[in-house]
Structure 1
Amino acid sequence: MSNKKPGAYILRIEDSALADKLAKKSKDPSTRKFMQSLLIPRKLKFGKSMFFLDFFHIGSWNLTKDIKREKIQGAIIVKNTSSRPMDPMEMDDEEENPMANLPENYFLDTLTDFVPKTITIAYEHQFDGIETLQFPFIVKDRERSISGVTIGKDIDWEKLDD
């Protein structure tokens, strides 16, 4: 999309630890290189488009708050499997939490309100007003896992050859 519609694109990743994990564990070398080159400056020009990495933390919003809204073409929002940083109510009471007074789903609503196209990636979490896609190749009913391979319930262990 960035080649067809040049402009600004926001990658909102829950926190820097998740961004680092995505960069290290990317299976595709070009994706890994792209993420690694975006981690440090958090801003990357690719073709005629500009990509901004935005961690869901007030300190990182300075980079993206000044982007002209009409230039933003899309956003990808990635929620970590733990709900810790994106749920400001789950932080320790001892810490001063500047995000504690934000409305629920603020990290999502602040982009979906004005960005023309957004993709939200969240494992086993649904948001109101967001269309959910299911992938048929991901087996939900699993009987057991063997060395990282998930075996579906529809497999009959008695009929398998040794």
Structure 2
Amino acid sequence: MQATKEKGYTLIELIAVISLLMLLSVPVISYANIENLKADFAVRRYVSDIRYVYNKNTFGDIDCYLKYIYSNNEHGKIAIGYFINEKNTPKKTVYFPSNLKVSNETDTFLKFGVNGTLTFSGETVYINNINTDDFYKVTIVPISGRVAVYKNED
């Protein structure tokens, strides 16, 4: 008897081709998600740092504050980052990702009183992800010091 040769693909060949196609498609699919995750992480870190300063101030450390780092460009004066100052020494410096446009209402630093109120009338920070058109609004309530984040609201 002579063996006949059948035409077609084996199961292993099909699995290998499907696996290769899946591996090639992962970077394309996940790039947009990575940009969203970077923006979300930066906003959450910013809010966490505001809450850190709030806690330090309400427990008596009045020398702790958050100060913005600004840049002047064609869009005007925008915040590119911030640093946390403790006892007249910068302890932490954070720069926002380049795809985030951050604008705030005041040029001052964020500092709370020992009763939890802001040392000025309140703060609203608008953060726009220019790659995905996501929009964040970070609001610090002047009386209670509560920090709220709203995403994609006008």
Which one has a bigger Cα radius of gyration? 2
TM-score bracket for the superposition, by shorter chain length: under 0.3
Higher strand share: 2
TM-score, normalised by the number of residues in structure 2: 0.24
